[in-house]
Amino acid sequence: MAILHTRIFQAKPGQAGPLVDHFKAGIEHMNTYGVDWETRISTDYYSGRSDRVLVEWVVEGLGDVDADVAKVMEIPEAAAFLGGWFEQLNNMITHSDADNWTIAD
């Protein structure tokens, strides 16, 4: 069964829009290295805490996430990109919360 891995990122004030763009760039870059997770990005500006960004990935198993990232990190230029990408991500958020859901077809 597939897994829906979700993360709600709490962006710093005013960073939700740039965070969405940051994820889109990251997804595009990962696709060039063969990582083709089904991904959806959502924003919530009007309920709960503001400046939240939800990112959802569908994978066959949680091990796939680690394996795919490890495979990409073996490529020097990809590792350099991701290192900078994660550093920028950390500067845009205060924290994130994660959930893993088994998809019941």
Rounded Cα distance between 68 and 47, Å, is 34
Q: What pLDDT sits at residue 93?
A: 98
Q: What number of residues does the chain have? A: 105
Residue-wise pLDDT tens digits, 57-85: 999 998 888 899 999 999 999 999 999 99
pLDDT at 41: 98
SS3 content of the chain, % helix, strand, coil (to 5): 45, 30, 25
Cβ atoms of 83 and 72 closer than 8 Å: no
Predicted local confidence at residue 49, as pLDDT: 81
Evaluate whether 6 touches 101 at the Cβ level (below 8 Å): yes
Residues of the chain with pLDDT under 50: none
Confidence at residue 44, expressed as pLDDT on a 0 to 100 scale: 82
Confidence (pTM): 0.89
